[in-house]
Amino acid sequence: MAMALTLGIAPGCGAPRSYQPDTTLVARLGHERAEARLRTLLGRAESPTVVDVHVTEEHIDIVWLGTRAVSRWRFGAIESIDIRGSDHVVTLRLENKGYIYRIDFTTEADATEFVDLVASFYRAGARAEVKLPSITRDRERP
């Protein structure tokens, strides 16, 4: 046990691994169907509750239940996305502001598809040479 702590690795825990999202969803489904799918996934999330979603080439606007404010996720400002598979949580960090959004999904499949859609919209609105933000998956977290 002391060896595991010295190395910073606890039994049953793994370091986040890079995740390669499916960035073809928007091209295959079309913008409207992909946006509807994103809306459906966010509507099924355990928390927070999403009222509406709108996607442009530059950003995703999300309206949360209980607020009239709109969260605008500019694609160029997304610094990182992490999928924690053991509890189906996605965290999204925006650069320069330190904002972290946490969405709790009911299944790992929904969490993964959400990340795939965000990355696909990111890619659809950007030139091919624009690098995706850091996307990681950690299935081993307790």
pTM, full prediction: 0.82
> Residue 8 pLDDT > 80, yes or no?
no
29: in domain: yes
The stretch 4-11 carries a mean pLDDT of 34
What does the radius of gyration of the chain's CA atoms come to, in whole angstroms?
A: 16
pLDDT digits 0-9 by tens, 99-141: 889 999 999 999 999 999 999 999 887 655 667 888 888 854 3
* Residue 93's CATH number: 2.30.29
3: in domain: no
Determine the pLDDT at residue 106.
93
134: in domain: yes
2: in domain: no
Determine the pLDDT at residue 35.
95
Burial of 6 (0-12, 13-18, 19+ CB in 10 A): exposed
User: Cα separation of 142 and 63, whole Å?
Assistant: 31
Is the pLDDT higher at 82 or at 11?
A: 82
8: in domain: no
pLDDT digits 0-9 by tens, 46-97: 988 888 999 998 899 999 888 877 889 988 888 999 998 778 999 999 886 6
Cα angle 98-64-56, degrees, rounded to a multiple of 5: 75
How many domains is the chain built from? 1
Give the residue numbers spanning the domain of 26.
16-138
10: in domain: no
